[in-house]
Structures are given as structure tokens and as C-alpha cells.
Amino acid sequence: MRTAATNLIGALPTPVRDLAVRPFEAEADRRWIEYRPRPRPGVCLADLDRTARKAAHRLLATALSPHAYAQAMTVVALEEVLDRQEGWRRGRDSADYWVTVFGDPERDDRWSWRFEGHHLSVSMTIRDGEVFPTPLFLGANPARVDYAGRAVSRPLAPEEDLGRALLDAIGPAGRAAAIVSDEAPDDIRSGTSPLAEARIEPLGLDATTLGPSARAALDHLVALYLDRLPAELAAREASRVHGGDLHFAWQGPTGPGQRHYYRIQGDDLLIEYDNTSDDGNHAHTVLRRPHSDFGDDVLAAHRAAVRH
């Protein structure tokens, strides 16, 4: 990751580099997640030459497992599909993705970077060689493109299908506890806030009440989100999940093709999924660590030590 970020900076001409590289202390820009088509800090891939664009993609690939990188590239390509669907009115562009590096990856012990655009936001914070890999957001619009009733494109299919598999596995009593509302929210609850809520009420179903098969389904769903990360990093993040603290909540109807939402919460863990816009064909998913997004827990400890 350090090498890829250094190579990216080296591939940027000076005027562009001034946009792409910011101080680590630029808190407002660094602690940022924005998955809507909005202005954002950094440099746009559309303004880079081929070498620099490839360097940006290679940096992104250091943060994602092979299947998650494929999901991310499908999300990017969907910008052209969505632009056509909207009659080319909004000028959506698969090159409208932005990259920013905070600090000096070649020399600093504390630095971070972000790759972001519509329906994709990947933030990595590094301190003393340890990576803090959240927030990590993937969305898809359209979430599904069909031909003759068969899916041609469904980039977030595992996130939906394994959520439904868990809902089936927990049985009627479990569903009564897990389904906290018949109405789905308009979006994920954490949204674009740099601070995710540590505890979203109602919590829903307590994982300690699950039988073996239902618990395996929950663990599989949690692993899906952690496995967006490279294997070594995913394993470290999995070791930080305390199974007894997990809760699962569902909102909205349970049938396919309808607006629905779920979340999983635990100690410093928030997973959210929604498919609530465009009549249930516009999905958002996010992996967050409410206490350690953007490396916050480590940075807070560092500041406390400095004051001391």
C-alpha cells in the first residue's frame, strides 16, 4: 500500500499533485465519506494520464480482495449504464472518481488515502504499518439489470442473498425479533456522516439466541463484508469481532424486489445494507468501525500520549 501510494504521487505532475496530496492534519477532508455525486476533495481520474490512472487503480486494489475489486469496478462501470438509463441528461462518467493521499506515504508513520466517487468510497488510514480499513462503501444503481427475467448484472448479489438466507435461517421467532419495522429507511443510517453511531436502536435480534445453523448464516454474512479486504487484513478484522455482542435488524418487506434494509451491529462494528430507492433497485452497503473509522481510536490514544 505504501509503495502503491508513493508510485501514484510520483506519477502526478506538480499542479495535479497539489490537489491530490494533502496534509494528514486536514481533518475535514480526511475524515470524509461521500457516495453521492457531489464535489469532493482530491484529483479526478478524468484529469490524469493513463500512467497515473493505472497507479490510482493499483492503489485501490491494495485495499480490496479480488472479488471486492471486481465489485468496485462494476460499480464504476454502472455510471455509464445509469447515464444511458437517464437519457444522458446528467453526464455521469465512469472517470468521475477521485483519489487523495493525506501525508507522505514514503516517510510518514501516519498517513491515509481515499478513492471515491458515486457509489464507491474506500478510506485507508495507516499508522506504524497498521491499516485501519474503514469506512468502506459500495453501492449500485441499478442494483440489477435483467434480460428475460435473468440477471445480467448484480454486483451486490451476495450482500442481498446472504441477508435473505440469514432471515430464513433464524425462523419465525427470530424474524419476530429481527424485523424492527415494516418500513425501510430512505438510506443507510450512517449516511455520509464522518461519525457513525456506535449503537443504533432498535438493536433487533441478539446473536446469542441463535441456533447453530442460524449463527453460521450470521457469521457468513459478517465474513462477506470483512472479506472485501485482502485476506491478511480481513483475518485481523475478523479477530476483532466479538460474536456475543452482535445484533441483526431488518426493516421493510421480506420478499425480493421490494424496498428493504438490514444492519449488523457489534462492539465497534456496523454493517449496513439498503435497497430502498428506485422501487428496490438501488443498493447501498457499508462496513464501518464506529470507534475506529479513519483510525480514530489509535489517533485519540496518540493525542492523549502527546498531551501527557
Residue 115 in grid coordinates: 478513492
Are residue 112 and residue 175 in the same domain, yes or no?
no
Q: How confident is the model at residue 46 (pLDDT cuts 50, 70, 90)?
A: very high
For residues 204-227, average pLDDT: 97
Residues in the chain: 308
Q: Is residue 145 part of a domain?
A: no
Asked whether residue 308 carries a pLDDT value surpassing 80, the answer given is no
Are residue 118 and residue 207 in the same domain, yes or no?
no
Nearest CA to 65 among 180, 196, 227, 240?
227
For residues 178-185, average pLDDT: 97
Nearest CA to 24 among 109, 102, 126?
102
Number of domains within the chain = 2
Percentage above 90 pLDDT, the chain:
92
According to the model, what pLDDT value does residue 279 have?
Answer: 81
Residues contacting 101, CB < 8 A, separation 6+: 5, 8, 9, 20, 21, 22, 111, 112, 113
Nearest CA to 136 among 307, 304, 292?
292
For residues 86-105, average pLDDT: 97
Residues contacting 31, CB < 8 A, separation 6+: 194, 293, 294, 296
Asked whether residue 243 carries a pLDDT value surpassing 80, the answer given is no
Are residue 130 and residue 176 in the same domain, yes or no?
no
Q: Is residue 111 part of a domain?
A: yes
Cα→Cα distances 214→171, 174, 182, 235, 307, Å: 8, 9, 22, 22, 47
Indicate the pTM of the whole model: 0.95
**Can you give the residue range of the structural domain that contains 257?**
156-291
Are residue 97 and residue 167 in the same domain, yes or no?
no
Cα→Cα distances 59→1, 8, 196, 248, Å: 6, 8, 25, 33
According to the model, what pLDDT value does residue 242 have?
Answer: 81
pLDDT, one tens digit per residue, over 110-140 is 999 999 999 999 999 999 999 999 999 999 9
Are residue 101 and residue 185 in the same domain, yes or no?
no
Asked whether residue 88 carries a pLDDT value surpassing 80, the answer given is yes
For residues 87-108, average pLDDT: 97
Asked whether residue 212 carries a pLDDT value surpassing 60, the answer given is yes
Q: How far apart are CA 299 and CA 223, in angstroms?
A: 26
For residues 147-160, average pLDDT: 97
Q: Cα Rg for the chain, rounded, in angstroms?
A: 20
Asked whether residue 60 carries a pLDDT value surpassing 80, the answer given is yes
Are residue 168 and residue 206 in the same domain, yes or no?
yes
Are residue 108 and residue 194 in the same domain, yes or no?
no
According to the model, what pLDDT value does residue 257 have?
Answer: 86
Q: Is residue 121 part of a domain?
A: yes
According to the model, what pLDDT value does residue 233 have?
Answer: 97
Q: How far apart are CA 261 and CA 190, in angstroms?
A: 13
Per the DSSP assignment, residues forming a β-bridge with 206 are 247
Q: How confident is the model at residue 303 (pLDDT cuts 50, 70, 90)?
A: very low
Nearest CA to 95 among 57, 147, 136, 126?
57
According to the model, what pLDDT value does residue 251 have?
Answer: 98
Asked whether residue 297 carries a pLDDT value surpassing 70, the answer given is no
